[in-house]
Amino acid sequence: MNLTDRIYVAGHHTLLGKALLRQLQQRDYSAVIASSAEEPDLTDRADVDAYFNDVRPDYVFLAAGMTGGIGANQKIPAELMLNNLLIECQVIDSAQKYGTRKLVYFASSCSYPRSCRQPMQVASLMTGPLEPTNEAYATAKIAGIKLCQAYRQQYGVDMISVIPANMFGPGDEFGVEDSHVIAALIVKMHRAKRAGMEKIDVWGSGSPRREFIYVDDVADAAIFLMENYSSGAPINVGNGSDVSIREIAQMIKEVVGYHGELCFDRNRPDGMPLKALDSSELLAMGWQPKTPLRLGLERTYRWFVETNGVIDS
Ligand code: GDP
């Protein structure tokens, strides 16, 4: 990518979209198309078509699409699936039609089978049943990978799929019911600290393990891959270390400065027992994650406090 190429971050208001904008800005790309006033309704065929016809981006990062934690995935699976399917179809097709040179699509680690061998390798995709708590969303994400491969095969257009580990960071959706675990626990502990509450609920048994990655590291890797990777095979983006939910809850407790008790609510689902990515291919290309987990949590909490987050129920 040249510094003056037209770069479109589809979904620039999402956790990842905002991080991509930060990272592109740091590198002095001067033609990033991403003001909120300009973004079309990405689920709408005519809107997206007109937008691409007008803007004609050289490069596209497809970071759009509704997402949520294990609670949201159980509550609104249809919305999550439909929203992601529509966006993938419209953006990928318009990118091809209006001459985008390269597109990076973001899948999800929940695209892997529930009982996948760990750490998860790209060869394991579609080799077994998905985790039931996020099957609808994961199916939409897999469809996006397949769509990129089909467009590459039929039209020869360079579309790659990136599979990030569990992302967190500034700009996340901070809510109690629908957020991903780190954002949800930050909200719960921050509120409990302020209200002097003696305990908070942590969902599940605390034993599932997740590989958490700071979102700016994913954005950094995605720009690296835009420049250095071209293949129909998806590529994993992780940092190679996983922690249990109990451990991450304890770390968040320290970062927030909450001194109450963590009560594990086994009536809430655990989801996948372990999600860890084999990112050896990316690491062998010379890319390295930059943000240790603890530092990422501190930055995220500072951002949450400074902006006061968006606290729903
Ligand atoms: P997942 O990686 O797709 O399962 O997504 P999440 O980020 O929602 O959840 C990760 C794990 O954190 C699951 O095992 C949850 O049971 C656990 N967890 C513990 N407390 C919470 C919480 O307050 N919110 C969410 N979303 N997950 C929680």
Residue 42 forms part of a structural domain:
yes
* 278 touches 119 (CB < 8 A): yes
The pLDDT of residue 311 is above 60: no
Reported as a pLDDT band with limits 50, 70 and 90, residue 28 is confident
Residue 265 forms part of a structural domain:
no
- Ligand 1 atom index nearest CA of 166: 2
Residue 47 forms part of a structural domain:
yes
Q: What is the dihedral of CA 246, 252, 257, 260, to 10 degrees?
A: -30
Number of domains into which the chain is organized: 1
Residue 303 forms part of a structural domain:
no
- Residue located nearest, by CA, to atom 12 of ligand 1: 181
- Residue located nearest, by CA, to atom 13 of ligand 1: 270
- Give the pLDDT score at 36: 52
- Give the pLDDT score at 313: 34
Residues of the domain holding 83: 7-169+212-241+275-291
Q: Please give the average per-residue pLDDT across 60-65, as a whole number.
A: 97
Residue 224 forms part of a structural domain:
yes
Burial of 215 (0-12, 13-18, 19+ CB in 10 A): buried
Beta carbon of 210 within 6 Å of any ligand 1 atom: yes
Residue 202 forms part of a structural domain:
no
Which residues have a Cβ under 8 Å from the Cβ of 120 and sit 6 or more positions away?
Answer: 109, 112, 236, 275, 276, 277, 278
Q: Please give the average per-residue pLDDT across 285-303, as a whole number.
A: 97
Report the CATH number at residue 140: 3.40.50.720
Q: Please give the average per-residue pLDDT across 95-102, as a whole number.
A: 98
The pLDDT of residue 310 is above 50: no
DSSP classification of residue 287: -
- Ligand 1 atom index nearest CA of 134: 3
Q: Which of 51, 59, 112, 137 is catalytic?
A: 137
* 232 touches 148 (CB < 8 A): yes
The pLDDT of residue 102 is above 90: yes
- Ligand 1 atom index nearest CA of 185: 23
Express each pLDDT in 36-46 by its tens digit. 556 899 999 99
- Give the pLDDT score at 100: 98
- Give the pLDDT score at 31: 84
Reported as a pLDDT band with limits 50, 70 and 90, residue 35 is low
What is the average pLDDT score of the chain? 95
Residue 304 forms part of a structural domain:
no
Residue 190 forms part of a structural domain:
no
